[in-house]
Structure 1
Amino acid sequence: MRHRRGIRSRAARGPPVLPGAPQGEGHPPIMNVRRSAAVLAATVVIGTATPAVAASPSPSPSLPSGLYGSSDPTYDGVWRQSLALIALYRAHAQPAPAAVDWLAEQQCANGAFPAFRANPAKACDAKLMVDTNSTAVAAQALSVVGGHGGAVTKAVAWLKSVQNKDGGWGFAPGGASDANSTSVVIGALITQHTPVSTIRNGAKSPYDALLKLSLRCAEGGAFAYQPDKKGKLRANADATAAAVVAALGTNFVTARADTGEETTCADTPDRTPERAAANGASFLAGAVAKDGYLKSVLPGAEDQPDYGNTADAVVALAVQGGTGAARGPLAWLERNSAKWAAQSGPAGYAQLILAAEAGGADPGDFGGTDLVKELTATGPEPVTTASQEDSGTSVWWMIGAGLAAGAGIGFLLSSRNKRKRP
């Protein structure tokens, strides 16, 4: 569905898109650590839905002991921590309690999360910037670690309270809806029992917002991030990967390979989310067919691989078309991503784990790299007992699996029955 994309650290992914900015001028990725400077331009006043102008960020904070990664967490602390916890859950590994506690303590009293707050003991105030992406990814992470159901419910309630009239969400409450933000919020909504299609602001649901950003097959079948300044939709691979996963009723926690649905593009009168997802997957399949990877959208980098977006595309292709559809780009990542992941840190390793899990690869031996070991090495020492090592299964994972099943995985299973969305 950042930096990135930590997974490149947020900055590694390229220039962020400011809420309301046309997609052709840069874009924030969903599964990536996307939003570095976007947080500066998309300041949100707690309890309101109107973006404000942010002041300059404070000096780089000292790193908390429970945080994954060694880079400045000002713009991606919650994002990379959440992805790390989700990836460890997916790989059946147990994080240190301090890592879970750090994330939980970032939440504000109203349920929202900022990208990072250095002093959790201090109540959130009107100067603190909160955003939909940090809140939504944190909700997904806390839904599987156990004991944080109340925090997840509060986060989702806040997200519902700032839903736009078109059914979607922007990075900042009150900002124009974009495909990436809407998709990651759908991922958070899936943690609840209420069908996503019934969560509306007036007549529009989150799926209506995504469909509004989907292109016809003559234009490639992709999703746009947002309309450009002239109102035109332009294909955006990152937004497409995020939207395919969300349109099929899955999220970071539940995205797994399907038995194999079509990845061909076809325009139909009803324009269902399932149809738009298939069209989007068709676009992604074509984009990676030649080289095995998605190319960077940065100016002057036409031939430069975008590792984070390629990992996202693997997940989307697997969820729609099965492991066969994801095989090419997944194999490319296995051969080429080690150096990128090492430079990117926890979010990068997490993204690759999610791609491996969805695409049918072994995150413990991904092109010769143990992604789980490398990820845990970036944070507090994980808690693992000898019995857990012998069994290969973490008690934490089993508990989380049960909680996740009650909070949304049933939606994933039902979607396998001809894509019945939550």
Structure 2
Amino acid sequence: MEVETATNERPRWRQFLWRCLDGFICIFILAPLVVLYWRGSFQLLDYYVYPRYPHPYYPVVPDSTGLKISGAITLVIGICGTIVANVLQTILHQRIHEKRRGVLQLFLKRIYTYTFGWIIVCHWRGVFRVWDGFTGTDVFSGIYCFSSGVILLILLKSFRNVVAPPLVTVSDFDKNYFFIKTRFRRKPWGAAYFLDTIFSIVVPGSLVAFVWRGQWSILDHVFKRDSMVESFVISAALGFGIVVMLFALQDQAGKVSAAMERRGWTWAKIAFEDLFFYIAALGAVNIWRSIWGLCDELLLKGQWALSNWVCHIVGGFGTMLLLHGNSVLVRDVQIDGEYPNGEGCRFFSKSLTFFENRADKQKRKQQQTNGIPAEIPDISTAAVDEKPVKIYRKLPAAKPADVGVQSDQLEHLLSGNRVRDIPTIEITQYEDRRPSIRRLSV
């Protein structure tokens, strides 16, 4: 059982500093590395996969048969490869995550990430290039692509999937490293799961690429300048500004979402969260466009293959060295409104805090292994104003001889003068939470 108490709560200044460092690493280090990886991989496929149209990069030649064929090849590879990864997720989890340890596990995960990374990029490049081949690259093509993606994702309650790094990062030590969520959340076996997998990849997975391609194309025309470097600098200023602002406002947005949920305004909550994530996606697309474009203009210009190999290697190995190689993948299908209590407005983007929480868990696990009982602090002096309090803290695994001890500890916890008259005390288990006392309204 997990009991959170105030005595071990991390100081607020430390929480604030930790979150600022977290945001800085995710926004200004991890995200650029992910963009470098994608830029290199995406354009290497342009360069090597059926390069039968006049120029492998800019400008893309509309209605090119070679472009359509090249896009279709990578689209098929991406969809089929992602289906295989979904089908094998349980086997990979059991054979690698559960049975392997240390350097071998990390190495095998790296192989998985590198291989799957190419597959994901193939899928997205296929969507982009097929659209380019059939509709061209003018602003109307971007508008059609963007609007169709947005409308269909909203109807499927899957719009929140449009965000990407720096708003989403995944650690290489994530316990769900190989698991991939599908739209209808089927268990990973049987025909129903296979159909769910195909649908999740072909429909929501591709529609997210629609939104990104459309928004990117629109920005290319909105920020069109004589100097492309100037255009990309404008995107960088806008993108980083939006993302930093939303990182600071995500807790307040979560409170608004939670308030709507308490009042039963489900659709209003979903609409608010989708709007929040649209603004977040706008910031992310601008960041990606700026870094990608500046590399096109400034990094070994004229030596396209070498420039993209440099990006691919630096981005891929850079994220792996930071133990966030899995952040280059686009896999899960999240459902709009599925997260309660405002969690739907909080970005799944952690670096330092993830490893700190992991170290805390390992420390508690080691204490339990060594037979050190969990401390239950005396909160008899806590000012709770006679309101119900939720108390959480991790106790050792219960053994026959320990049950009585735990009961005595809980009785002692509830015997303080200031706590005795509290109307209700609820003891619940929460995962991945630091100790703190939460006051609840009666």
Give the TM-score range, shorter chain: under 0.3
With CA pairs under 8 Å and 6+ residues apart, which has the higher RCO, 1 or 2?
2
For normalisation by structure 1, the TM-score amounts to 0.27
For normalisation by structure 2, the TM-score amounts to 0.26
Q: Greater Rg, structure 1 or structure 2?
A: 2
Point out the structure with the larger helix share: 2
